[in-house]
Amino acid sequence: MLIDELVSRGVMYYLARVLLAVGFGVAVSTVLLILDRLTHQQNAPPGAQRVLVLGTILVVVALILLWVRGRVQQAIDRKFFREKYRLHTAMERINQAVVRVGDPQSLADRMLGSCHDVFQVRSAAIYLIDEAPQHFRLMAVRGTPDHELPLRVELEPESIEQLQTHSHILGPRQGGSQSESGIAWPLMQDLSAELLYGLELDGRIGVLVALGSKPDETIYSAEDLTFLGALGQITSVALHSVRVHRDVTRLNDELQDKVETIAEQERRIAVMQARLSEGGTTTPMSSEQPHAERAFHREPIIGSSPALKNVLQTVQKVAGSEASVLIHGPSGTGKELLAQAIHDNSPRRDGPLVRVHSAALSPSLLESELFGHVKGAFTGAHRDRVGRFEMANGGTLFLDE
């Protein structure tokens, strides 16, 4: 039956092409005849002017006839190959979806819209495989309200095997045998489907396409199944690409989280190592407690470079002595922190640490600030003042700058 239909369509298409060619030839002959008569008129323009006018008319008429011929040829092609043009439009739509769409829901909508346009079906639905095997969830629907279709369906193993073998199951009204559609027929009735088409995804039936009846209750032909197979292959590849992209994105996020976790752990390990290094460095106590050991305090100072370790070893040595210490270095290098470390690790740690910023004092006030004065010692000395040396008695005096 399909062969007879194709032969009949081919003959009709051939006859239409012949008639179009004959009509085009007649039109060209008529134009040439008219131009010939114009050239033999007594009042025709002379010489070159006549040739120019006739040539212009001939070119314009030829362009018009070619345009008309192309439009008629396109109309004939659309008439005899209507499904071909629908499939071409559907393929373009799916190809655009593959490039732009990044989620299965939108891709299913586009694929279902293409099926609806190509086959002109009354209803169509697409189900995507769920986490549970043999279970599918509704992704998109056309021509039927969503609430009239089940949100989840389950396929029998026999139906899945049939789809894996033949890719489709036809209903009884579509010429399907009892052995093919018997088990799946109750499900097809629930879906108002005349055709079930299965698309493979990752080696198993991952997409279920349910198509209703065609206009005038015509059956699905082998050509229709070929069209559906082409759409299905593109959709399967697109869905697989979307799934792979999501998996890669998820793995990349997990890897990034692990990298950040490792970096945080390394930072914590470095801090713990620094603290252990601090706890393992001891300084001898005063002569009154020769055998006791006390941990070296360096809380404000963080670091473990060799240069800093050498400085801290020097601090540890001088902290237990009564010697005056000169700390030198550029501004901002932490001289005050070293003074604090010397004081905290010295026998004077229970006394005060008095800081004096010498550069901020004028020469006239420096003596009074350091050594103090009594009331009336000079103009403006309205009361006794204790000097910084006296304030630092029993502790440490830090003269900055």
228-270 pLDDT, tens digit each: 887 777 777 777 777 787 788 888 888 988 988 898 888 888 8
pLDDT on residue 299? 72
Residue 361 pLDDT > 60: yes
Domain of 21 in residue numbering reads as: 2-80
- Residues 90, 228: one domain? yes
Q: CB–CB of 336/398 below 8 Å?
A: yes
Range 66-71 average pLDDT:
75
Within-domain flag for 177 = yes
- Residues 147, 174: one domain? yes
In whole angstroms, what is the distance from residue 203 CA to residue 121 CA?
A: 29
Q: Which residue has the tokens 């604090």?
A: 340
- Residues 328, 376: one domain? yes
Q: Give how many domains the chain has, as a whole number.
A: 3
Class of residue 16 by CB neighbours under 10 A (exposed 0-12, middle 13-18, buried 19+): middle
pLDDT on residue 393? 84
- Residues 146, 68: one domain? no
pLDDT on residue 289? 41
Within-domain flag for 282 = no
Tell which of 248, 271, 304 closes a domain: 248
Which two structure tokens, joined as six digits, stand for 320? Answer: 């237990």
Range 277-281 average pLDDT:
61
- Residues 111, 241: one domain? yes
Pairing outcome for strands 135-142 and 152-154: antiparallel
Range 264-283 average pLDDT:
73
Within-domain flag for 312 = yes
- Residues 91, 213: one domain? yes
pLDDT on residue 179? 58
In this prediction, residue 134 has a pLDDT band, given cuts at 50, 70 and 90, of confident
Range 86-92 average pLDDT:
59
pLDDT on residue 119? 76
Pairing outcome for strands 124-129 and 168-170: unpaired
Tell which of 31, 64, 80 closes a domain: 80
Amino acid occupying residue 70: G
- Residues 40, 72: one domain? yes
pLDDT on residue 50? 63
In whole angstroms, what is the distance from residue 14 CA to residue 16 CA?
A: 5
Amino acid occupying residue 186: P
Tell which of 25, 51, 80 closes a domain: 80
- Residues 74, 104: one domain? no
In whole angstroms, what is the distance from residue 18 CA to residue 158 CA?
A: 52
In this prediction, residue 283 has a pLDDT band, given cuts at 50, 70 and 90, of very low
Within-domain flag for 276 = no
Within-domain flag for 64 = yes
Within-domain flag for 55 = yes
- Residues 313, 372: one domain? yes
- Torsion sign across C-alpha atoms 261, 262, 264, 265: positive
Average pLDDT across the chain, whole number: 74
| Percent of the chain whose pLDDT exceeds 90 | 0
- Residues 76, 96: one domain? no
294-344 pLDDT, tens digit each: 567 777 787 778 888 888 888 888 888 888 888 888 887 788 888 888 888
Q: Which residue has the tokens 């003269």?
A: 399
Residue 284 pLDDT > 60: no
Within-domain flag for 278 = no
- Residues 75, 179: one domain? no
Closest CA to 125 of 205, 203, 188: 188
pLDDT on residue 94? 58
3-state secondary structure of 135: strand
Give kind and range of the element (H or E) at residue 196: strand 195-201
Range 127-148 average pLDDT:
79
- Residues 194, 133: one domain? yes
pTM check: above 0.75: no
Within-domain flag for 193 = yes
3-state secondary structure 330-369: CCCCCHHHHHHHHHHCCCCCCCCEEEEEHHHCCHHHHHHH
In this prediction, residue 375 has a pLDDT band, given cuts at 50, 70 and 90, of confident
CATH code for the domain of 335: 3.40.50.300
